[in-house]
Structure 1
Amino acid sequence: MLNETHHWVTGNNGDRMYETIDGNTTKRDSRYLAITNAYLPGEDSVAEKMREAYEKILEGRAADIGFMYDSIEAHAATPLTPEAIRIVLPKIRGDAAWLRVETILQSILDTTIAASRSRRMWLNQIVASEDALFGPAEWDVLRDDSKVLQPGDEIVIGFDGGLRDDSTCLVALRVSDMYACVLGLWEKPDGPRGDDWTVPRAQVDSAVHDAFRAFDVKGFYADVALWESYISEWSDTYGEGLAVKAPGKDSVGWDMRASLKASTMAHERLMRSIFDRKLVHDGDRKLRRHALNARRRTNNYGISFGKEGRESPKKVDAYAALMLAHEAMVDLRARGKKIRKRTGRGFFL
């Protein structure tokens, strides 16, 4: 039995204790049960590692080893009001009937206790760390399962590319309703499979061409770093038919390194669309992971974003691609023009 694994961190050797228990259990061909409250993101506790391992299995990024994860969590938008708590808490506590609602409510309403702790302790919510841009409450409410991207839809595309360690992502936003979905995401595999791994550039290139064949692409903004030659080819092939052009030397390249002010302003526009719930998505777990990994970075121009650390394995590239797609959408609505499609027909007088 592993109890309160949200407190098992490197500082108290909790991670080593977990590895020892796992090894001894494996030797005995046995199982173990871990019971915990919601963890604090960023502490790298055993509880956090278990949740991330479970989500990797759901995403298909890790083998299903018979890992069972059970958690009853309150909806992200649940308010900490007496009316809401009296309804929600009996559902969250399950068969733990000894937890008295009125007593817990007094703790939740105690202003000396941080609201984030109350959410983790009593509502089982994974509440974002202090420097996170978004928590589940802001991101999950944007999910709309009734929408789906259809062939022929008018879209804009954002692209952020890596080479070895960073991820590479292609994100689409539908023009009519700002519906976001991932067209492709290529990430370094965990473990030995990731040794000497590089982004499969041919697959990425094919995904771009597939997108232009399947949809009516109005704008395509791609970060140029590490992908200059491909971006030049994409611009030559599709640039003339785009309704809005990137502010670089060609119609596709949008260099995020060129102007801190431009990228910061673009990011603040994306944040506003998210907080105002103008953007919706399909609940893609990979995009969600990257968005929740993004950390606040303040500069002289406003709020930008980045990973939690330079060498952090928690990637944000899909979020960067979403920002570029959103910026293409902003420009399309502000200064885009209609492109007359070529019919191949000629007229002679």
Structure 2
Amino acid sequence: MRRPGVRRSLGYAVADWIEYYLLHGPGDVQGQPIELDVEILHFLACTYAVGADGRRRFDEVLLSRAKGRAKSEIAGAIACAEALAPVRFDHWAEPGEVSDWGYEYQPGEPVGAPVTYPFIRCLATEETQVGNTYANITYMLAHSERIAEDYPGIDIGNDWQTSTRVFLPDGGEIRPSTSSSAAKDGGKESFSVADETHLYVLPELRNMYETVERNTMKRKAAEPWFLQTSTMYAIGEDSIAERTHRNSKAGAAPRLYFDHKQAPAALLEDEAYDDPVQLKAGLIAAYGPFAAHMDLDRMVALAHKPTQDRAKFRRYFLNLPVSLSETWLSRHLWERCALPQEVEPGELVTVGFDGSDHDDCTAITACRVSDGYVFTPRFPDGRPMVWTKWDDGDPDAWRVPRAEVKAGMTHVFTTFKVARAYGDPPDWRDECDDWAEEFGMETFLIFETRVATRMCPALDRFKTSVLTGEMTHDGHPTMAEHVGNAKPVRRPGGLIAITKPAPDRKIDSAVTAALAVEARADHLRHEAARDGGSSSFTGY
């Protein structure tokens, strides 16, 4: 057995158990025997290191690797071992001692025993799925003939793909949990795993993690521990992964093992990133032995596409921490707020409009006043009120169909009760004047998005409503793309505006959504001031 240098560890026997019993989970090598590379072997040796008293050295472990490094599969294999294998110290090996599956212990090496009543929790970020780790667990347990022979009686339900809980033959279980269920089940965990903790940025996900983390202190004899797997986080989102890394760097968590591999930090600079040789070498450094399984030349080509978001590429594939200064609002945060629903005709709404002539997107966005639900209005035939040069025809000759846009605005005003509408006038000044005259100058108002003191607070309000989870929206893909494209830019006075990171990466419907949300806030403030008899209202 390969031994990468950790003297006292149950990890070598655990690694051998994984290779003997388990098969690769869903993917290109599905069903093939697992052979751990030296980097993951070292990770297991450190993760299962024990002290002179035989007890675990680490209660919390984070495996930080680039996207595609099979982190979820590694976590799934560890979970299977925690359920069945000898993973807690029992005694020190005698000369010639051999495990039940044929592993030859070195004299004095720690020998393990299975956990009594293992309770394993797999945390998932969504109510509608149980996570990649759990899918690997159920596949591995369902398809290993050696598991079936040596550990009869495992119950995964009818099918590994639809399993919702695994019952273990001698008592215990493996359970996937979401934020709504983790807090309800008490605290019996002997092992918990959280996949992709760079996504744990919303309050309910942080609370879920912290609840289960507290539970891991309740079973002293079982020596519970917590495993995180993650790609590198965005600095400033305060994700669980970022918090864990911060604790590690500060030396504030002596029983935390943080295992991180990344490309050289020089690749945070565009000069090195633009060099294909340096970029490929960085990918090799980030992926380690697993680089042999990656199409590095294709990844380099992807990195250099004009439309590539470099901040995201650096995070996902080079595993480098990237400052939020390069991204205004993470797309996954926006997508978490999607809750598509019908808005009934006659509802009170506010409207945002941003128009172009031939290049940028033109969009109309609405916001329901009662609850702040943001949506893209549609024509009676179902077409959304978003117009881009890629819709049809020749992009170079395309022009915004102004008559259609004007018909769309009329349809919105006749279908809904519009409390207030904000329109950005460049290229559409005449139309904005016409709408103000048609719909009322106190209802349709000019909103100059180029004025930082006006637009930046609107953007801040919009972003805050997403970060706090207060906003819901219809999940329109164009708006999701535009929100994800937006790049922050600092204005005088510390104000933050947004801009396009490249000419063909549009942000227009993110702007219209912010205008619609700001119009709602101003309307509500105006109504509150009027009802209260205040004469100091200056909202518009």
For Structure 1 versus Structure 2, the TM-score category normalised by the shorter chain is 0.5 to 0.7
Per-residue CA deviation, residues 33-84 of structure 1 (Å, 9 max, x unaligned), is xx8xxxxxxxxxxxxxxxxxxxxxxxxxxxxxxxxxxxxxx9xxxxxxx853
- Evaluate the alpha carbon distance shift between residue 191 and residue 199 of structure 1 in structure 2; reply closer, same or farther with a 3 A threshold: closer
1:158-181 per-residue CA deviation (whole Å, 9 max, x = no partner) reads 000011110100000000011111
Q: CA deviation at 1:232?
A: 0.4
Query: How high is the TM-score relative to the length of structure 2?
Result: 0.40
The equivalent residue for 1:91 is 135
The 5-angstrom pairing of residues 105-184 of structure 1 reads 108=230, 110=258, 112-113=260-261, 120=316, 131-145=326-340, 147-183=341-377, 184=385
- After superposition, the Cα gap between the structure-2 partners of 1:93 and 1:302, relative to the gap in structure 1 and judged at 3 Å, is farther
User: What is the SS of the residue equivalent to 2:509?
Assistant: helix
The answer as to whether partners of 1:158 and 1:222 remain within 8 angstroms in 2 is: yes
2:471: which partner in 1? Answer: 279
Deviation at 1:135, TM superposition (A): 2.1
* Seq. identity, %: 24
Counterpart in 2 of 1:185? 386
**Residue 91 of structure 1: how far off its partner (Å):** 2.1
- Structure 2 residue ranges without an equivalent (≥5): 1-27, 29-71, 73-120, 125-129, 144-191, 196-226, 231-256, 263-311, 378-384, 531-540
- Residue identity in the other structure for 2:258: D
| In structure 1, C-alpha distance between the alignment counterparts of 2:368 and 2:481, rounded to whole Å | 21
What secondary structure sits across from 1:272 in the alignment? helix
Amino acid at match of 1:144: L
**Number of equivalenced pairs:** 241
Partner Cα separation in structure 2 for residue 150 and residue 338 of structure 1: 28
- Name the structure, 1 or 2, with higher relative contact order (CA <8 Å, separation 6+): 1
Name the amino acid aligned to 1:327: E
Aligned CA-pair RMSD: 3.8
Aligned match of 1:61: none
Choose which of 475, 481, 487 in structure 2 pairs with 1:295. 487
Give the match for residue 211 of structure 1. 412
* CA spacing shift, 1:173–1:112, aligned 2, 3 Å: same
Give runs of ≥4 in structure 1 deviating > 6 Å: 92-98, 116-119, 127-130
Aligned-partner SS, 1:280: coil
Q: Distance in 2 between matches of 1:130 and 1:226?
A: 30
Conserved? CA contact 1:128–1:136, under 8 Å: no
Question: Are 2:499 and 1:306 equivalent residues in the alignment?
Answer: yes
Change (3 A) 1:96 1:285: farther
How far apart in 1 are the matches of 2:229 and 2:417?
A: 54
**Can you list the C-alpha shifts for 1:68-116, whole angstroms capped at 9, x where unaligned?**
xxxxxx9xxxxxxx85389642426996899xx99x95765635347x8
The answer on whether the counterparts of 1:159 and 1:222 sit within 8 Å (CA) in structure 2 is yes
1:42-121 pair list within 5 angstroms: 83-84=122-123, 88-91=132-135, 108=230, 110=258, 112-113=260-261, 120=316
The code of the aligned residue for 1:326 comes to V
The corresponding residue for 1:198 is 399
Change (3 A) 1:202 1:107: closer
2: distance between equivalents of 1:265 and 1:241?
Answer: 21
8 Å CA contact 2:329–2:463 kept in 1: the answer is no
Q: Following the alignment from structure 1 to structure 2, what is the Cα–Cα distance between the partners of residues 307 and 173?
A: 24
State the SS of the aligned residue for 2:133.
helix
- The 2-side partners of 1:198 and 1:324 are apart by 24
Question: What secondary structure is seen at the aligned counterpart in 1 of 2:446?
Answer: coil
Name structure 1 gaps, 5 residues minimum.
1-34, 36-73, 75-81, 122-126, 243-250, 340-349
Rate the CA distance shift 1:237–1:314 in 2: closer, same or farther, 3 A: same
The equivalences for 1:16-35 within 5 A come to none
